[in-house]
Amino acid sequence: MTAKKTILIVEDEKDLVEWLTVFFNENGYNVISAGDGADGFTKAESRHPDLITLDLSMPGESGVKMYHKLIKSPKTVKIPVVFLTGAPADLKNFIARVKAFPAPAGYLEKPVDRDTLLSTVKKLIG
């Protein structure tokens, strides 16, 4: 039997973390979570998740800063990252700033569509 894949949710909205946790668990994934980019990066390096969902705008360390750290670290550079954002302006600003960096594996706007989220995750990690 194949081991369950693990998803790291990096999100400051507790209701969304809870919803994503239940959703991913119901679809056969293990979940770990972090409330900001600093904690998320620490967990990514220590726990080596199969995929990361990452909010762009969070208090403390932002998702943008965490993403930069993820792609610079040999321990995390190959982990697929899917951005979840409620602010299209944040997404446009991020894209404009990261032209020198590899694009994330995906972008989804909040509120997240369940089917789109699940198909994105399955496409990336099975």
Number of domains observed in the structure of the chain: 1
CATH number of the structural domain spanning residue 21: 3.40.50.2300
In a domain, 21, yes or no: yes
CA 70-71-73 angle, 5° bins: 65
Q: Which two tokens stand for residue 46?
A: 């220590």
Which residue's structure tokens are 């400051």? 12
Domain residues for 103?
Answer: 6-125
User: For 11, left (φ over 0), alpha (ψ -120 to 50), or beta?
Assistant: beta
Task: Write out pLDDT tens, residues 48-74.
Answer: 999 999 998 888 888 888 998 999 999
In a domain, 81, yes or no: yes
In a domain, 1, yes or no: no
In a domain, 17, yes or no: yes
Task: Report the pLDDT value the prediction gives residue 98, as an integer from 0 to 100.
Answer: 60
Write down the pTM of the prediction: 0.91
